[in-house]
Structure 1
Amino acid sequence: MSEFNTTAFQPSLFILTGLRRLAGSRLWLGLLLSLMYIITMVGNCTVIHLVRKERSLQEPQYLFLSMLAWADIVLSVSTLLSVLKVYILGLYEIAFDSCLTQMFFIHTSSSVGSGILLAMAFNHFVAISKPLQYTTILTSSRVTRMGLAALLRAVALMTPLPILLKRLPFCKGRTLSYSYCLHPNVMKLACGQVRINILYGLVLVLFSFGVDSLLIAISYVLIFQAVLGIASREGQMKALNTCLSHIFTVFIYYGPLLAITVMHRISIRSSPVAHAVLGNVYLFMPPMLNPIVYSLKTKQIRTALRKSCKIQRS
C-alpha cells in the first residue's frame, strides 16, 4: 500500500527463537553449542596455522582448505553473540540493523565456502586428469585469484539482501525461527512489495549455490572418467581416496543447505522445531566437521599436526 511509511513499520528489534520450544533445553543446548564453537574455532585456526607454517602444505589443495577455514570462522563469529545470548543468557532480542548485518555475513561466508568447494573440486580434477601439468595450471597466483573471485562474487551477490529488506515494512510479527538471522526467515515477516526479494533470493540460490553444486557434480563426473583411465586398480583407489574428504565435505555442506532452502520455499506447514533443528545443523555442523574430516583423512595434515605438537612440547 502506497500510504505505508516504511520506516514506521520497521521493528526496532526481532525476537530470536532457536529451540526454546523444547522444555528445559536452553541450558544443555547452550553448553553443547559453546563446545561446538570451541571445536570449530580451534580446528579451523589449527588448519590455518599449519598451512601457513608448514612448507609441505604450501600446495593448492591446502591453500584452498585454509580459505575454507577462514570462511567457516567468519560464519561462526557472525552468529556467536546472538546464539550464546539466546542459549546461555536467555536474551532473545536482536536489533533490526544488527539482524541485517548478521544476515549479510552469514550468507556471504556461506557463498564464499561454496565457491571454495568448487575450486577444490577443480583442484582434484586437475591433479588426477593432468598430473604433469598440475603445478603450471594451479600456480599460487591463480589459487589466490580463485579465492578472491569467490569472495568478490559473494559480496556482490549478498550486498543487495539487507538493502532490499531495509526498504520494506514489517507487519507479520517480529519472531524469527532461529537464534540468528537468515534472509528467507526475515523476509517472511515483511509485507508490501516483496516479490523482488523473493525473485532475488531465488536468483542467489540458483546462481551461487546452484551453479557451484552443478559444476562440482560435473567435475566429479570428469574425475571418475579420468580415474577409469588409470591402468592399475591400486592407482584408481589412490586417486579416489584423495577425493574422499572433499566429497564428504560437499555432502555435509550442501545437504543441510538444500534441505533448509526447500523447507523455507515449499514446506510451509513444517514443524517450527524441525526448522530450528535443521537451521542449527546447517550453521554448526559443516564448520565444525571440516577440519576434523581433513585432519583424519589427510596424511600430510596429520604429520604436520604431530610435528607442531612435538615442537610445542619441546
Structure 2
Amino acid sequence: MASGFSFLRTQFPGLEKTGEFAERYLYSDSNSCLFKLGLLCEDIVNKMFDFDNIAMPYQMKDTLVNKIRLLENEEYITEDLARIMHRLRLGGNEARHEGTDSLQKAKLLLPQAYSLCEWFMQVYGDYSYQHQEYHLPTEQAEAAFVETAKDKAEEARLRKQDNEKAQKAVPLPQQERSKTNLQAANRRPKTEAETRCLIDEQLRQVGWEADSTALRYSKGCRPAKGRNLAIAEWPTDKVPGNEEKGYADYALFVGEKLVGIIEAKKWDTDISSVISYQCKDYARAIRKCDAEYLLGQWQDFKVPFVFAANGRPYVQQLQTKSGIWFADLRQSGNIPRAMAGWP
C-alpha cells in the first residue's frame, strides 16, 4: 500500500521517507511510529529556520520547544499548528525516553502529522498543492516492519538532501512569509481527532483529568473518589437513528457522580444545534448498569449538563461560531448557550 506521505516525494523526499516509516511501524511498533513523528516535526521546524534564515535570540536555548515558541510568537505559525508541533514533539520524547507503546496515541497523531506536512508543502514546496484526505494504514498480517541498515542510510541521505535544499533557499521577507503561512493555515482542514486533542488540553487547563487516548472506558478508566475525570468513549444505550449502542465522546465525573456529557465535532462544524439532538440523546441513554453514578433524573434526562465542542475560540459577536455550547437540562425552559470556556 502506498504511503499517505507520498505527495512529499517531489519536494521533500526525506520527509516522505520518515512519514512512510512512521506508517509502517504503526501496528507492529507504535512506539517507533511516535518516535518517527517526533523526528518529522523536528525536521519541519528546522527547515523553516533554514528556509527563512531565522536566528534564535542569544538568550533563548536552541531547543525544539523554544523554536516552536519563536515561530508562533513571530507569526510564522498559528496557535493550532504550534499545538500539533508540541504534540508530535512530546509524543517523540515519550517514545524515546519512556517507551509508551501507545497505538491509540499514534493513530491520533499520524493524521495530524500528515496535516502539518500538507501545510508545509503548500507554503515551502508546491504552492499549487491541493488537500487530499488522509486514511490511516490498514493493519496487515505481514511480518512486522524493522528498518534495515540500508533503510536507515537511505532515510538519512534523503533528509540531508531536504536540509541542503532549505539552506540554499532565498529567504522571504518575514511579513510576506507570515502572510503566506497564515493563509495556508487558515485553509487547513482540521479533523475530529485533532479537536479531541484540543478539548483534552482545554479541560486540563481548568482542572479536569482528560486524555482521550489513555483515559478511556475501554481501557478500564472508571469514576473514582477525589478525581475530576473526563472519561472518553463512555458507552450508552442505543440512541435514535443508530441500531448499535452509542458512545458519548466524554463523560464528566466529579468523584463518582456523572455531571456532564460532551459531544466533540470537527473544527468547521457549527455546534449550536448539536445540543438539541446528539447531546440530549446521550443524556437520555445512560445505561441502567450505570445508575450508581447518577445524581438524579430530570424529565427523561439522566445527566444534568451537556456540552458540544469543536475547539474553536469563543466569539461574543458571533456566538453560533463559538467552540463550546452548553445546556442545563434540569429545567425544560433552559436555553442552550455559548460559553467562553470550560467550567
TM-score range, shorter chain: under 0.3
Bigger helix share: 1
TM norm structure 1: 0.24
Bigger RCO (CA 8 Å, 6+ sep)? 1
